[in-house]
Amino acid sequence: MKNNLSAVLIAHNEEGNIGRMIEGLLENYHDELLEIIVVSDSSTDRTSDIVRKWMARDNKVRLIEKGKPSGAGLALRAGFKNVSPKADYVLTMDSDFTENIKEVRSLIGAAEREGFDGAIGSRYMEGGKLVNYPLMKKIMNRGFHFIVKALFRIKQEDLTNNFKLYKAGIIRTLPWESDDFAINAETGIFPIVAGYNIAEVPVSWIQRGEGQGKSKFRLFKVGRSYIKVIGRAWALSRGKKTS
């Protein structure tokens, strides 16, 4: 992988993290990166200003300022639409994944192995790690995965983590529709049911620390959206147009 990786970071009020994310990615993967696209999702803090300072330092950094309505799915889809046509691979991450920067190397290695179209970072497979993960969130996550794995005969353990690296063709062609956090389920399920060969590598999930802001995920608010993803995935698996 050489100068052909587009990284898409979604950021809503991430002034405490975005600078470290950009710096870490550039420091560790400058040769691999074609661009870092930061989608500032209706941010009202200094997120956009910090990104602009990095743009002045490195022309691989790009900023998309997306206004309201805000939503993780809307932001990620905006990022997808702005991926350079020169990109062969696309990496997706949340902007508080500062502890995961070194683990991108595992995704790159898995994606480059013969026969794989991409790789998912898994918190639940052997070797993965969860630190201070909310119990109810874990119960709901495992319940959702139980249903999905049974319906689609999927072997991967963690489909909803926004830490994935795919061939750019996957990003450009699949029918992403969710506006909220359910987009993370789409990006996990859709490529697999569409027939792509997706690897899974162990990664960590560590609760935000002091100064890293607050999580925007609201479990029960997005529950219906995750159920709708199952319906769209079922239609996709049957070769039908999703709605």
Tens-place pLDDT, residues 111-146: 988 889 999 999 988 888 888 888 888 899 999 999
pLDDT tens figures, 74-93 = 999 999 999 999 999 999 99
Is pLDDT at 58 greater than 90 in this prediction?
yes
Question: What are the chain's domains?
Answer: 5-237 (3.90.550.10)
Cα gap 14→45, rounded to integer Å: 8
- Give dist(CA 90, CA 87) in Å, integer: 7
Cα torsion through 115, 25, 222, 69, rounded to 10: -120
Query: Quick one: pLDDT at residue 241?
Result: 44
pLDDT of residue 133: 80
Share of the chain above pLDDT 90, in %: 78
SS (H, E, C) 149-160: HHHHCCCCCCCC
Residue 46's pLDDT is 97
For residue 205, the model assigns a pLDDT of: 84
- More confident call, 57 vs 133: 57
pLDDT of residue 209: 53
The pLDDT score that the predictor gives to residue 59 is 97
Tell me what pLDDT residue 221 has: 64
Please give the helix or strand (H or E) that residue 210 lies within, else none.
none
What pLDDT, on the 0 to 100 scale, is given for residue 240? Answer: 53
pLDDT of residue 131: 83
Task: Quote the mean pLDDT of the chain.
Answer: 91
Is 242's pLDDT higher than 70? no
Element (H, E) at 39: strand 33-41
The mean per-residue pLDDT over the stretch 215-229 comes to 72
Look at residue 115 in the predicted model and tell me its pLDDT. Answer: 83
Q: Where is 30: in which H helix or E strand?
A: none
pLDDT tens string 157-213: 999 999 999 999 999 999 999 999 999 999 999 999 999 999 999 998 877 455 544
Residue ranges in 30-165 assigned as alpha helix (H): 47-57, 72-81, 104-112, 135-152
